[in-house]
Amino acid sequence: MKLSLLGLDALSPALLSRAVERLGLKNIGDAVRNGRPVPLHSMPPITPTAWTSIATGVNPAKHGVWGFTKYYRGPKGEHLSRPYTSLDVMFPRVFEDAALMGLDVAVVNYPLTWPLEGLCCLDRMTVVGDTFLAPRVDYSPRDLAGRLGRYFITFSDMPDPYERTRRLVEGTLELLSEVDADAYFVVLPYPDQAFHKDHREVLSVGPRSAEVWEAIDELAGELMRRSKAFVLVSDHGAGVHRTCVNALAPLMREFGVGVPRGLRGRLALYLVTAVDVISRALPPSVSPRELSRRGPLARLRGRLGGELANIAVAATHGSSGESELARQPFTYDAGGLSIDRILYFRDEASRERGLRAIEGSPASRYLRVSRLEERFRGAYMPPYPSLFVESVDESRYHVVSSRSLAALRHDMMPDHEVYGVLLVKGAEVRAEAAEVYDVAPTLLSLLGLKVPRGADGRSLVGASAGEYPYDAAVRLKVRLRGRAG
């Protein structure tokens, strides 16, 4: 059976319904009517981790990707960090499984496909590499670069998310005119990157969004025409959160990290904290933080933010070198506006101290905190003692990393949601909801292929063709990585 997957980063169930209803999308609308979109639970709802879980069917402790930034120790015990790459993905992804089992596969813009040396079985693959996180786009075969290079542009080279998505669609359509594969895997950065730039335009399906949706619908139609089974999937959702819980507040108080030493910085911190406390007596739509995003108040917000720039130090996506753990007892990987749910500590004593601080704070009413190894099981845990932070009710309380000593605030906070979308056209999905780990077993079942034993998910479209051993899958991934065979 031929299969195509179209991934849309941060597509929520509500946004999918709104786009189909308002724009009358022909092809995606047909898939919605003939399939049944189900909510896809993603935890943590962070782009590199979730897309890797979708493609492998296993949790981060088995595939090895925990966020945007990898924290590790150097040969002399140095505290280092760098962006995750394909070389850090330790479990075979579904397109590698398909190529290993003899199918011809096309992979376009899948996160963490740079460098190509991190992939196995390239002789059965046509690959246009990652434009999400990579410093450059890799191609296999290499001559694709000359024909398609003008379409596939990294975010740093083209920050306009609307134009970039349109170009990616155009380039993918041109690639499809040249390549006949058994399975296609295409991921687009829309709506996520546009959402973080202008969430009102994206969530309302405004005029700029409508143009992008029409281009995406054209691509979806072409993928459906080529395939017996079409899968639309997202790594997480996106929405506006009204009650925010600051997981960093108790750690700032406990360790003193991020509390400015200068008078001006301290005054800014206390002002922001007071504003957050006041917000709890106000509706979110008129909260001080929401009003500060508008008009002249936005400039004041920018100045205050500059004063507080060192309160929650986070690794940047594009840098490598000494991590914050060389200077402070804890850190987190800020892939977006909010905390990515994982807190890294320099040593075990600091982690236990941090755990007690959170559990003893007002934030504990709204948070569920666990040691990372209690939440996930596998061979590829981070080398640092870590905590995992969740909301006790993801529909009501949103976990954030806020430059404030207040544990709770009202706001209109645009950020990721824990539910994305899974939609299958061409087979019946036998579930009311799903986990990101269910996607890979479902795709392999649609292709009639075996599923790696040890997968954390299950096929949602019926029984698979069998299993092959988990340890064999990992050994094959390592042995065949970067080789054409």
Q: How far apart are the first and last CA of the chain?
A: 23
Residue 393 has pLDDT above 90, yes or no: yes
Does the pTM surpass 0.75? The reply is yes
Q: Which two tokens stand for residue 383?
A: 């080398």
Q: Which two tokens stand for residue 325?
A: 């753990």
Q: Which two tokens stand for residue 221?
A: 């139609």
Residue 319 has pLDDT above 80, yes or no: no
CB neighbours of residue 23 within 10 Å: 17
Q: Quick one: pLDDT band at residue 156, thresholds 50, 70, 90?
A: confident
Q: Quick one: pLDDT band at residue 297, thresholds 50, 70, 90?
A: low
Euclidean distance between CA atoms 114 and 136, whole angstroms:
8
Euclidean distance between CA atoms 71 and 130, whole angstroms:
21
Sign, CA torsion 122/126/130/135 = positive
Q: Which two tokens stand for residue 368?
A: 């569920």
Mean pLDDT of 95-124: 94
DSSP structural state of residue 310: T
What are the pLDDT digits (tens) for 157-211?
888 999 999 999 999 999 999 999 999 999 999 999 999 999 999 999 999 999 9
Residue 369 has what pLDDT? 96
Q: Quick one: pLDDT band at residue 315, thresholds 50, 70, 90?
A: very low
Mean pLDDT of 392-408: 91
Percent of the chain with pLDDT over 70: 89
Residue 243 has what pLDDT? 95
Residue 265 has what pLDDT? 85
CB neighbours of residue 352 within 10 Å: 14
Residue 481 has what pLDDT? 62
What are the pLDDT digits (tens) for 63-88?
999 999 999 999 999 999 999 999 99
Cis, bond preceding 383 (omega within 30 deg of 0): no
Residue 480 has what pLDDT? 59
**Average pLDDT in the chain:** 89
Q: Which residues of 101-129 are buried (b: 16+ CB within 10 A; e: fewer)?
A: bebebbbbbbbbbbbbebbbbbebbbbbb
Q: Is 88 helix (H, G, I), strand (E, B) or coil?
A: helix
What are the pLDDT digits (tens) for 367-390?
999 999 999 999 999 999 999 999
Residue 299 has what pLDDT? 57
Residue 312 has pLDDT above 70, yes or no: no
Residue 99 has what pLDDT? 92
Q: Which residues of 229-243 are buried (b: 16+ CB within 10 A; e: fewer)?
A: bbbbbbbbbbbbbbb
CB proximity list for 264: less than 8 A, separation 6 or greater: 307
Residue 351 has pLDDT above 60, yes or no: yes
Residue 33 has pLDDT above 60, yes or no: yes
Residue 259 has what pLDDT? 85
Cis, bond preceding 191 (omega within 30 deg of 0): yes
Q: Which two tokens stand for residue 399?
A: 């976990």
Residue 313 has pLDDT above 70, yes or no: no
Q: How far is CA 434 from CA 6, 175, 182, 377, 460, in A?
A: 17, 31, 25, 20, 8
Residue 304 has what pLDDT? 45
Q: Quick one: pLDDT band at residue 409, thresholds 50, 70, 90?
A: very high
Euclidean distance between CA atoms 29 and 135, whole angstroms:
35
Residue whose entry in the numeric block shows the structure tokens 């296999």: 140
CB neighbours of residue 365 within 10 Å: 11
Residue 298 has what pLDDT? 57
